[in-house]
Structure 1
């Protein structure tokens, strides 16, 4: 169970505890008697130690006079159940499997909002940079063959066609650190940064860089991808999280806007990329000396 899933389950339990108290049940024991449950079940649910079932949610809400909240809480429960998808389980089918799923998602999406604080967003990656990323994934998880890795890179590069097709809008924010996180060595990084210089001219792509020195209204946190206003995908080293609840999507939208206010664009962004290219030019020279 992921930390965020645990926190979500605890939050659900706290909300149910509030319903109990609002209804005049002074203790979990009193509610357990009314529901004909074991007392320990009420305590475990309220403290986030046990998953409630959908039937548990319905009877709890009806007994405490909160029938109007059943739909929202059932949606929350389903979200918790679906919150995490273990990377190891996904990678059993090869590291290209998640990339195949994304191609279909890209086809359906009209507006993309991307925040990546430490790495270049996948759809803007060169093949060599993507290969370095997947090599790190293979090393960490012990998954995939050389052919799987090559297929994953190919699928990632395939998504780039959506930058040019249709009326899709891409609003991409990178932390300045993403320009310096060294994946593949100086030569690979210079090529990747040259790629970023080229995509600055794309008409439907807005690329902003959040300078390392920029005043922040919110901490950098983790990266995420928003697909229209329907889905947010968050990747960590151990899992992938899909956010579909409207309230949480609104929160990610707010976070994206706060990062956007700290970003620079156009010539200022170009200057930051050029500075990073100069850094890797010097690094490449020093490595040859």
Structure 2
């Protein structure tokens, strides 16, 4: 895994490891005694207790039986599954295609009242045209060798999700690096259409859209990984190798603070519209 050892996923793995060590100690067993009774090498017990190796559900059952704590099996299996859900590598996430993955996150978009998004290289999904989304997902399908070609279905799901921009009492705040206005996905015509769409969507009362110019002093905050905050309950981070779900309040607060700092570097309203118009003129020259 590529995320920091201080991430929610690693913290949760360490908490589970600590819990298993406590169960062993409460049972009065040495690591060697537990390993012998469970039928594995003592090094495996050490790796599990130091969060160097993720235990399987079978490992947890064996651990609890050896420690005479079978009543804890269901609870520990639940913790393990929660840990696994925090980190999802793209290969596992997309093994059933792109549509299922996109549909799986729809509920949190529907529930969220305050949505905050920072992107440094691409227009975020809620603001994309269907053509731009098609180009993005087709590129991901090819690059990550997704085994199921369901791009059209995934695009339809993403487009349908955008109804929350127009309905209900949702509020959306987007901060983008100005480079997102120039990176072409699908060619100049698709980007031009996308830029025109941004000029329209930023008029929505539910939407705040700002861009960080290249001329701004980045000393207060430099570009970071793309992230999305759903109320103050969850933050999602997209990395090269996978998808990180953060639920730890302290870490969500760090992303919220980062977002606030980035908003102060961005320009809005007429200045933001001028940046879009400038990028569109350059594209059509």
TM over 0.5: yes
How many positions carry a matched residue from both structures? Answer: 255
> Displacement of 1:138 after TM fit?
0.9
| Among 207, 210, 221, the residue aligned to 1:208 | 210
Structure 1 residues 13 and 166: CA distance shift in structure 2, 3 A? closer
Superposed CA RMSD in Å reads 3.4
Q: For residue 3 of structure 1, give the secondary structure of its aligned residue in structure 2.
A: coil
Q: 1:45 to 1:223 in 2, by over 3 A?
A: same
Choose from 180, 183, 208 the match for 2:182. Answer: 180
Task: Name which of structure 1's ranges 269-278 and 75-84 shifts more when overlaid on structure 2.
Answer: 75-84
Task: Please state whether the residue corresponding to 1:96 is helix, strand or coil.
Answer: helix
Q: 1:11 to 1:153 in 2, by over 3 A?
A: closer
Corresponding residue of 2:145: 142
Match of 2:154 in 1: 152
Distance 1:136 1:37, change over 3 A: same
3-state DSSP of counterpart to 2:3: helix
Distance 1:92 1:279, change over 3 A: same
77-86 or 208-217, which deviates more: 77-86
Aligned-residue offset at 1:275? 1.3
How far is 1:258 from its partner? 1.0
Q: Deviation of residue 194 (structure 1)?
A: 0.4
Q: Secondary structure at the match of 2:252?
A: helix
Whole-Å Cα distance in 2 between the matches of residues 13 and 130 of structure 1?
35
* Pairing partner for 2:235 from 221, 232, 236: 232
Counterpart in the other structure of 2:246: 243
Gaps of 5+ in 1: 17-30, 57-74, 283-289
Contact 2:210 2:266 in 1 (8 A): yes
Structure 1 residue 235: Cα displacement: 1.8
TM-score when normalising by structure 2? 0.77
1:103 aligns with: 106
Residue 37 of structure 1 corresponds to 31
Change (3 A) 1:11 1:226: closer
The normalised TM-score by structure 1 is 0.76
In structure 2, relative to structure 1, the CA distance for the partners of 1:114 and 1:76 (3 Å cut) is farther
The alpha-carbon deviation at position 276 of structure 1 amounts to: 0.9
Q: State how 1:9-20 maps to structure 2 within 5 Å.
A: none
CA distance in 2: counterparts of 1:255 and 1:4, whole angstroms: 17
Q: Any gaps of 5 or more consecutive residues in structure 2?
A: 17-24, 33-41, 64-77
In the alignment, what sits opposite 1:170?
A: 172
Residue 10 to residue 181, structure 1, CA distance change in 2 (3 Å): same
